[in-house]
Amino acid sequence: MLFYAVRRLLYAIPIGIGVTFIVFSLVHIAPGDPISALLPNEATQEMVEQARREYGLDQPLLVQYATWLGHAARGDLGTSIGSGRPVASEVAGAVGNTVILAISAGLVACILGFLLGIVAGLWRDRPVDHIVSLITISGVSIPHYWLAILLVIVFSVDLNWLPPLGIGPDSSGGWRPDWPHLSHLILPTIATAAIPMAVIARTLRASVVDVLDQDFVTTLRAKGLLPRRVLWHVIRNALPTALAVMGLQLGNMLGGSVLVETVFAWPGTGFLLASAIFQRDLPLLQGTMLVLSMFFVLLNLIVDLVQSWTDPRIRRA
Amino acid sequence: MSDRMAAPILDIASLSVAYRGAAGWTPVVRGIDVRLEAGRTLVLLGESGSGKSVTLRSIVGLLRDEGARVEGEVRVGARNVTTMSDPELRQLRGGRVGFIFQEPMTALDPVFRIGDQIAETIVRHRGTTWKCAMGMAKELFELVQIPSAARRLSAYPNELSGGLRQRAMIAMAMSCEPELLLADEPTTALDATVQIQVLLLLREIQKERGTSMVFVTHDLGVAAEIADDVAVMYAGQIVEHGSADQVLLTPRHPYTQALTRCVVRGSYRDAALGELGGAPPDLGRLPAGCSFAPRCVRRADECLLAAPEPCEVAPSHIVACLRAADMAATPTGEFQES
């Protein structure tokens, strides 16, 4: 187990370096000149050249990459062209807000998805399975931004129960789990959780059905075990798959959703990414993408380790 | 104790099993009678699809979960399994009746340690503490001759060889000291050398503990090795039933006779091996007369008209063949030696 963990940890290093390179290249390959967005239209050629020098954009790409990577390694992601504030602090604030939403939506998606999946799998082809199917197919089919807009129309505009926009009162103490903040969290949570919940439920149902068809379940019954003990075996066998899909879904949510965050004006990473793109804010875009991709590398690492811990067969693979 | 000797440990009376297929119910087992006295080993012998495994599963009511239609009566000890409630069945399974499956690869839960899988059975049926059950599991591993038992108990199934896994399976089946052991081709998935070891172990434990056993196999050599009694199944019926010597050495049913001719035996390398032409009948469309008649070399015209009733050709040697009386016992060679 320890050997596997160390090996998997070492694998993460080249992946991480590769990711930084791709993030850097992508931003530079993409069309659009950040300087032209920054300077007024009547700026002279000299002013443009000077700005390019200031931002280091006149250097060869590899040198720029090395410089950027060196700074990034020390936690310096540069300065946002748009706001003039350090990218690191902009990203940190956004990450915090996205994490709040992701944890809330993740809990809802995992708990509901898990329960629905198990129930549907155990009672395969029975009415309850069909009902769950209906819910999960709706979940994966309905676009989340459309669901978000619908939620705003129904619960904010028509019923006036919940606030439609923002994260809540902007107090100096930051986000607190009190009603003014929580009420802002409910609608984004539902919109964010819908798809992951459906994906988790469907995966878990397939997994439970698959486990129930295996020979060892007959063995368990032939041993006279109580149904709840048999259920525990089934869940333990379905767990690695469940954890993998939950981890990835949670990861997606932690990455922030550009669309949902934009609809609810939720100041998270998705929102930040969208504004960085629209403002051609290169350092901010790079910084946000770097943090997000590093985060996915880390997440996959954690999922692999947890999976190997729940399924002994993976350790030897 | 005395009445246990009198009453058979297993009594199956006119058991029929049918599964729902595309075109209505397909019979899989068609009216079989089996009696097994305590301490003896019965081998159910037959080709794939002859209904032997289904018969075995019916003994602990496992067919109930599969949507099969079961008629007739199965008694274990004095109790009727077919009318048992689910909780009663769960008491019987693993407690009074142990079950060994064919595929030790897939019959054990891959994500539970072997020791835990044995201990949970013990805790369930004997109500001991987990720690005590683990201690008993260790003793069982020594009984089934698994070396370094303590280490193997904490292993996962994928970390053991097929032979060790099947030994662990035997330990699990024996864990609650069952009166009756049901073994569904327990050696078929193993290498030839391991097969013999496991077979000998099973026979040894069974004799030592006085456990009765029903052993399903398609392998005549295995049957000869372990059987006290043999029941030969064909197309869901028992065509010949008797002691191992009677059935294997002096078979009276043409099907059994054909089977015994299909076995490589002794050292004659160039001797022609018998073969049995044709294929088993489609259980959905059985012939009117004897099911074996289309393949039978000794078929008479009347065989195609009426199904034969079982008749006793020698004490306790029962054959279902219209021409059983004409089938003079043809010695088939030294089975016990093979």
- Do residues B241 and B231 make contact, with C-beta atoms less than 8 angstroms apart? yes
Assigned CATH topology for domain B1-85+217-265+274-338 = Rossmann fold (3.40.50)
DSSP character at residue B276: -
- Give the pLDDT band of residue B337 (cuts 50, 70, 90): very low
Tell me, what's the pLDDT at B273? Answer: 66
- Do residues B176 and A222 make contact, with C-beta atoms less than 8 angstroms apart? no
Per cent of chain A over pLDDT 70 is 93
Residue of B nearest to A308 (CA): B111
Q: Are strands B212-217 and B41-46 parallel, antiparallel or unpaired?
A: parallel
Average pLDDT of the residues of chain B? 84
Residue A110: pLDDT over 50: yes
3-class DSSP state for residue B232?
A: strand
Tell me, what's the pLDDT at B2? Answer: 42
- Do residues B115 and B154 make contact, with C-beta atoms less than 8 angstroms apart? yes
Size of interface A-B (CB pairs under 8 A): 78
Q: Count CB atoms within 10 A of the CB of residue A124.
A: 13
Residue A49 lies in a domain: no
Residue A141 lies in a domain: yes
Mind giving me the DSSP string for B137-201? Answer: HHHHHHHTT-SSHHHHHTS-GGGS-HHHHHHHHHHHHHTT--SEEEEESTTTTS-HHHHHHHHHH
Per cent of chain B over pLDDT 90 is 22
Lowest model confidence (mean pLDDT) among A235-239, B57-61, B154-158, B305-309: B305-309
Within 8 A by CB and 6+ apart from B233, the residues are: B32, B44, B45, B46, B50, B51, B52, B55, B239
Tell me, what's the pLDDT at A173? Answer: 58
Judged by a CB distance cut-off of 8 A, whether residue B216 touches chain A is no
Q: Are strands B229-234 and B69-76 parallel, antiparallel or unpaired?
A: unpaired
Report how far residue A303's alpha carbon sits from residue A298's, in angstroms, rounded to the nearest whole number.
9
Residue B3: pLDDT over 50: no
Tell me, what's the pLDDT at B212? Answer: 92
Lowest model confidence (mean pLDDT) among A130-144, A300-314, B23-37, B292-306: A300-314
ipTM exceeds 0.90:
no
Lowest model confidence (mean pLDDT) among A10-19, A23-32, A172-181, A247-256: A172-181
Residue A225 lies in a domain: yes
List CB contacts (< 8 A) between A223 and chain B: 93-94, 99, 120-121, 124, 172
Tell me, what's the pLDDT at B4? Answer: 42
More confident residue, A76 or B5: A76
Judged by a CB distance cut-off of 8 A, whether residue A7 touches chain B is no
Judged by a CB distance cut-off of 8 A, whether residue B91 touches chain A is yes
Tell me, what's the pLDDT at B41? Answer: 92
What phi and psi, each to the nearest 5 degrees, are found at residue A79? -115, 135
What pTM, to 2 d.p., does this model score?
0.76
| Host domain of residue A250 | 90-280
Lowest model confidence (mean pLDDT) among A33-37, A46-50, B212-216: A33-37
The pLDDT tens digits of the residues spanning A150-179 come to 888 888 888 878 777 777 766 555 677 777
List CB contacts (< 8 A) between A218 and chain B: 62, 101, 107
Number of folded domains in chain A? 1
Q: Are strands B79-80 and B69-76 parallel, antiparallel or unpaired?
A: antiparallel
Mean pLDDT on A67-82: 80
Residue A41: pLDDT over 90: no
- Give the pLDDT band of residue B333 (cuts 50, 70, 90): very low
B120, A223: Cβ pair inside 8 Å?
yes
Mean pLDDT on A288-297: 84
Indicate which CATH number applies to the domain containing A242. 1.10.3720.10
Order of strands across the sheet that contains B24-36: B24-36, B10-21, B69-76, B79-80
Mean pLDDT on B70-92: 89
Mean pLDDT on B246-255: 89
A313, B120: Cβ pair inside 8 Å?
no
Enumerate the domain spans of chain B.
Answer: 1-85+217-265+274-338
Mean pLDDT on B157-177: 89
Judged by a CB distance cut-off of 8 A, whether residue A233 touches chain B is yes
The pLDDT tens digits of the residues spanning A118-138 come to 999 999 888 999 999 999 988
Tell me, what's the pLDDT at B6? Answer: 55
The pLDDT tens digits of the residues spanning A204-227 come to 999 999 999 888 998 998 998 998
Residue A303 lies in a domain: no
Residue A238 lies in a domain: yes
Tell me, what's the pLDDT at A316? Answer: 58
Residue A19 lies in a domain: no
The pLDDT tens digits of the residues spanning B4-36 come to 445 789 999 999 999 887 778 888 999 889 889
Residue A142 lies in a domain: yes
Q: Is B270 exposed, middle or buried (0-12, 13-18, 19+ CB in 10 A)?
A: exposed
B158, A229: Cβ pair inside 8 Å?
no
Judged by a CB distance cut-off of 8 A, whether residue B115 touches chain A is no
